Structure 1
Amino acid sequence: MTLAQETIRRKRDGLRLADTEIRAFVEGIARGDVSDAQIAAFAMATCWRGMATPEAVALTLAMRDSGAVLDWREADLHGPVVDKHSTGGIGDTVSLVLAPLLAACGCHVPMVSGRGLGHTGGTLDKLEAIPGYAVDVPLDVFRRVVREAGVAIVGAGPALAPADRRLYAVRDLTATVESIPLITASILSKKLAAGLQALALDVKFGNGAFMRDLASARALARSLVETGCGAGLPTEALLTDMNEPLAPAAGNALEVHVAIRHLRGDERSARLDEVVRAFGITLLRQARLARDDDDARARLARALDSGAAAERFARMVSGLGGPTDLLERADQLLPAAPVVREVAAAAGGVVAAIDTRALGLAVVELGGGRRRAEDRIDPAVGLAGLAPLGMRVEPGQPLALVHAATAAAANAAVATVQAAYAVSDTAASPGPLIAGRIVREQG
């Protein structure tokens, strides 16, 4: 068996690792035979030297195989098993709408999701704003809810890709989170462990994303698609803009409200709706549940407008311990902040630019995100009514509403949000919301 230090040395020297070396190293991580110091050295060597696609595939598969791998053939499902993953953003409420929408169109969606990271919100944190909703459930409960509701959004838990948990914890402390091969393996190992048949990836770019520029996002998307397909999972990616919040709210309970209103048809943000439908079209086409994009678009519209997607969301919530009447009583059941303050525009004009990352950090400062993994989240706080780019405002008109636990926290957030908005006489033309699609290269 290859010694861990030899694997580290070879990667440090820029050599390509064999599948057997990578698998042995990952197995050592899972067993505890490889130390945190060795994991850190491997992560830094990989961050410095990178990985070829075959190495990234081997790392992803080894991390997948470090724990349980779900096999949905035993569950008597009557549709394809698909999922979507986002690299993180502000007001990114896509999963809460898309997953039940896909279920209403005949898919099964076992979505293994994550918590907030830095300035970006986490899908699990949003769902935990729902009273009783359990994101950490046994695999048999996960299987049952996917079978009965068509969708379940939960955490990975200790059974799926446990090697990733150790590796990620060390990366977070050693400035190696940004390594594209390690990001790729971390995301895909859990998705492969979920037993998917198709995967779509939302790779975001802009001032509110981890990948600030389009070129970096394209490189990550290419790595994810080539590695996913190389591991046997049909994978596509869309590059989406995060130079402004995707939804008009950022914060856990506030974003659940946005999702419910979207599913019920009360109010649908144009940006959020465009991204939801783009991923719906992609996955229905991948799953061969639609003849073409027009057929997929029509199926999605029927599932939304008929209330079928909302009904799937309700079944998922109740199946995972939440209230049975959330859709009807969201205002009474979801937590609400005691202090709500307007953020007034200091001058009139057009919203020309938004520091989206600053808005995400404002939510963290309000208590709606984490500085450390052990921090508790206040699900009620956040920002709502966020003015979009290009909107004309008058002096004193609200740019946003701050939902806070205390007056002092509200005052601080008001100042942060005001500084994050640039209002001028003219606004630059925004780029496309969806800047490109990445599919596997042929040949």
Structure 2
Amino acid sequence: MSIPDLIRKKRDGQALSDEDIRTFIQAVTSKTIQDCQTGSMLMAVWQKGMNDAETETLTRAMMSSGEVLSWPTEWAGLVLDKHSTGGVGDKVSLVLAPALAACGYKVPMISGRGLGHTGGTLDKLESIPGFNVNQSAAQIVDLLTSVGCCIVGQTETLVPADRVLYSLRDATSTVDSIPLITASIISKKGAESLSALVLDVKVGRSALFKDLESAKELAQSLVNVGNRLGIHTGAVLTCMDATIGRCVGNSLEVMEALEARKGHGPHDLLELVTTLGGVLLLINGSVSDLSEGRKQISNAVIGGTALSKFQAMMEAQGVANNVAGTLCSAHTDYYSVLGKCKYQVELATPADGVVLDVDGLTLAEVLQKLGVGRSKVGQPVNHCVGAELLVSLGQRVQRGSSWLRLHYEDPPPSPDQINRLENALTLGSHDETRHTHSSVKEMLLP
């Protein structure tokens, strides 16, 4: 069938055959299809959806559109990874990848850049002078051999079909299609030839999916397709209303992740790291129960071995030995290495009360405009811009006390942006507080 015929078929609500889907992906990969036709197919999928068989075939076709990584036979059952659907202040990967490596696993973490209000792991790491996220397949094998983990960008030869579709999904407002999200995520993880994968599916005000029902539908789709591709796949649905930890912004999040590996991290970050790592070890068959898996990850983080692995990873990916050593030392001035914005300002609480909520989405959207993120692919970011929360949910505060420290450059935040930040804080009385709730909402295991 011709490309217009395939578009028409899906537009009219019919299921595409395996051959139809492979024809479409081959045309995308070989660039023999017009962007307008690709966009039309994406919109047809967004409107009419895909059944389980179509989604699986789309994922397999995308995975096979380029190179599929292969590993030494002795690594069988040891190659693990984690993926998050995106959040505010999400620096979990920076802690979990080296923790898993410290436990003896191989972690070829292929990550992305920030777009819109959601931060990108690669942008965070590039705030470290010399850190090189661009590694070939052969270099990835070397990194896993010498260190046990790496965090890199998608190579030119890995799932090239996804590179095309990913950029056009944003331009065609089809980002929130569950079949397209599933195929994009699992095709890349399938190309990593993983033994096991855990998915951190965010739900809430600051996430792509705001309600538990739709987030669970996505999680189930990801778990189903991942397992059908032969990857032991599980998902954890986690709350994404406020922020993860207290820092938002590239270099500030690196600092907080380093502090976590030194045993000083915020409770919610450690909970996510140990839960996701524990689930990953459980579904891989490495431990008999979740508590054992959580304990192994916690010991690696608190005991310092994850910090040593992160230092080794930094050095293997281009960071000078003295820079990596300074960042990982017990007492260090992070700003001397990572830089600091010219200006800082602290916002004061408007009244006495208990901190009930901080709107993470508002915080991220304002910071994006100030240079933390980008509105289109390829835009530069300012690694030093960001914000530090100076309070915790459930904390009692007095009027006039500082609750947020903003790091910025010229031009300064506008009065409207300051007003939005001030309105992101919700105060109330003690009996209204919800701060004791865990960020983990539900788990989907294979």
TM-score (norm 1): 0.95
SS at match of 2:394: coil
Distance 1:415 1:194, change over 3 A: same
- When structure 1 is superposed on structure 2, of 311-320 and 380-389 the one drifting more is 380-389
Shift of 1:297: 2.7
- When structure 1 is superposed on structure 2, of 219-228 and 407-416 the one drifting more is 407-416
SS at match of 1:5: helix
Q: Is the Cα contact below 8 Å between 1:77 and 1:147 reproduced in 2?
A: no
Distance 1:189 1:231, change over 3 A: same
In the alignment, what sits opposite 1:433? 439
Distance in 2, matches of 1:337 and 1:358, equals 21
Distance in 1, matches of 2:344 and 2:357, equals 24
What count of residue pairs does the alignment treat as equivalent?
437
Shift of 1:323: 2.9
- When structure 1 is superposed on structure 2, of 229-238 and 412-421 the one drifting more is 412-421
Q: Is the Cα contact below 8 Å between 1:340 and 1:410 reproduced in 2?
A: no
Divergent runs of 4+, >6 A = none
Distance in 1, matches of 2:37 and 2:409, equals 43
Shift of 1:332: 2.2
SS at match of 2:292: helix
Shift of 1:428: 4.1
In the alignment, what sits opposite 1:181? 179
Shift of 1:363: 1.5
Matched, 1:332 2:336: yes
Counterpart among 216, 219, 229 of residue 218 in structure 1: 216
Shift of 1:146: 1.6
- When structure 1 is superposed on structure 2, of 411-420 and 295-304 the one drifting more is 411-420
Matched, 1:232 2:230: yes
1:319 partner amino acid: A
Distance in 2, matches of 1:56 and 1:407, equals 46
1:69 partner amino acid: V
Distance 1:181 1:251, change over 3 A: same
In the alignment, what sits opposite 1:361? 365
Counterpart among 308, 329, 347 of residue 343 in structure 1: 347
Matched, 1:203 2:201: yes
Q: Is the Cα contact below 8 Å between 1:249 and 1:386 reproduced in 2?
A: no
1:337 partner amino acid: C
SS at match of 2:412: helix
Q: Is the Cα contact below 8 Å between 2:386 and 2:407 reproduced in 1?
A: yes
Q: Deviations over 1:365-424 (max 9, x none)?
A: 221111222321110010113533222111111111101113723876543321111112
Q: Deviations over 1:241-273 (max 9, x none)?
A: 0111011000000000001010011x1211111
In the alignment, what sits opposite 1:307? 304
Distance in 2, matches of 1:226 and 1:390, equals 38
Matched, 1:250 2:240: no
Q: Deviations over 1:45-73 (max 9, x none)?
A: 10011011111110011001111100113
Q: Deviations over 1:179-237 (max 9, x none)?
A: 11001111111111111111100000111111111111111111111111122222110
In the alignment, what sits opposite 2:31? 32
1:200 partner amino acid: V
SS at match of 1:103: helix
In the alignment, what sits opposite 2:188? 190
Distance in 1, matches of 2:78 and 2:291, equals 20
Distance 1:412 1:150, change over 3 A: farther
Q: Is the Cα contact below 8 Å between 2:370 and 2:408 reproduced in 1?
A: yes
Matched, 1:96 2:94: yes
Distance 1:411 1:146, change over 3 A: farther
Q: Deviations over 1:314-360 (max 9, x none)?
A: 11111111132231254421121121111111111112232211011
Distance in 1, matches of 2:395 and 2:7, equals 53
Distance 1:394 1:189, change over 3 A: same
In the alignment, what sits opposite 2:268? 271
Percentage of identical aligned residues:
39
In the alignment, what sits opposite 1:106? 104
CA RMSD of the aligned region, Å? Answer: 1.7
Q: Is the Cα contact below 8 Å between 2:84 and 2:201 reproduced in 1?
A: yes
Distance in 1, matches of 2:96 and 2:385, equals 24
Distance 1:309 1:252, change over 3 A: same
SS at match of 1:152: strand
Distance in 2, matches of 1:118 and 1:358, equals 12
SS at match of 1:341: strand
In the alignment, what sits opposite 1:289? 286
Distance in 1, matches of 2:406 and 2:115, equals 21
TM-score (norm 2): 0.94
Distance 1:386 1:243, change over 3 A: farther
Matched ranges for 1:372-411 at <5 A: 372-406=376-410, 408-409=412-413
- When structure 1 is superposed on structure 2, of 333-342 and 414-423 the one drifting more is 414-423
In the alignment, what sits opposite 1:135? 133
- When structure 1 is superposed on structure 2, of 232-241 and 387-396 the one drifting more is 387-396
Distance in 2, matches of 1:237 and 1:268, equals 24
In the alignment, what sits opposite 2:66? 67
Distance in 2, matches of 1:20 and 1:125, equals 38
Structure 2, unaligned runs of 5 or more:
none
SS at match of 2:248: coil
Shift of 1:294: 3.0
Shift of 1:32: 0.7
Counterpart among 413, 417, 420 of residue 416 in structure 1: 420
Structure 1, unaligned runs of 5 or more:
none
Q: Is the Cα contact below 8 Å between 1:402 and 1:414 reproduced in 2?
A: no
Shift of 1:78: 7.6
Q: Is the Cα contact below 8 Å between 1:263 and 1:310 reproduced in 2?
A: yes
Distance in 2, matches of 1:190 and 1:70, equals 10
SS at match of 2:140: helix
SS at match of 1:199: strand
Distance 1:69 1:405, change over 3 A: same
- When structure 1 is superposed on structure 2, of 320-329 and 46-55 the one drifting more is 320-329
Distance in 2, matches of 1:368 and 1:412, equals 18
